[in-house]
Amino acid sequence: MTLQTTIKAAQEIGVSERYAIMRRLAFLQPQIKEKEREIRLSTKELGQNEDPLERALLSARIKEVKSELHPLKRESTLLLKHINGKKEPETNNAITDEMIEHARQHPITRIVAFTSGRKTTCCPFHKDSNPSMSLYENHVHCFVCNRSWDPISAMMDSEKVSFRDAVLALQ
Ligand SMILES: [Zn+2]
């Protein structure tokens, strides 16, 4: 998908460009992380494996994942450049208390995924294989990280954005 596709979709649906881009990034970034992880693991295994057939298969797989990763990273970079390079008019720069309050009301389960009806999930902020994160009111708490997040801080940590950008993205 291209940057233009995302912008066009945002216009058609009537949401802000920034919101559409943040959503698209939220979709792309876990896939990028997963592919980078697979490349790291396969490369490590390649360094330890002496079986010629397995080595050939691993090399082929690494090449394949790299070719899948490339367009995802390219799109993600373009999206980030687009939102970071875009200077908004001064009037749009201020965040009001109402906007912060509105962002806090954003359902946190749209940022941290929970299986429907479940109150616990694996924490996305540390390597978690046993569900350590629980949902209460519109907050999440991880017993391993020993930390709570509201929708704004969850957005900041999952998208690596500033407080201001998180509030704007949650409007
Ligand atoms: Zn955690």
Q: Which residue ranges of the chain lie beneath pLDDT 70?
A: 86-93
- 140 Cα–ligand 1 center, Å: 10
Q: How far does residue 123's CA lie from ligand 1's centre (Å)?
A: 5
DSSP 118: -
Instruction: Find the 158 Cα to ligand 1 centroid distance in Å.
Output: 12
Query: What pLDDT was estimated at residue 93?
Result: 64
Of 100, 151, 142, the residue nearest 120 (C-alpha): 142
**Which residues does 165 contact at the CB level (< 8 Å), separation at least 6?**
18, 22, 83, 159
For the whole prediction, is pTM greater than 0.85? no
Query: How much is the pLDDT for 60?
Result: 96
Residue 109: what pLDDT?
Answer: 94
Residue 138 alpha carbon to ligand 1 centre in Å:
17
Q: What is the spatial distance between Cα 158 and Cα 33, in angstroms, rounded to a whole number? A: 12
Residue 16 confidence (pLDDT):
86
CA–centroid distance, residue 64 to ligand 1 (Å): 32
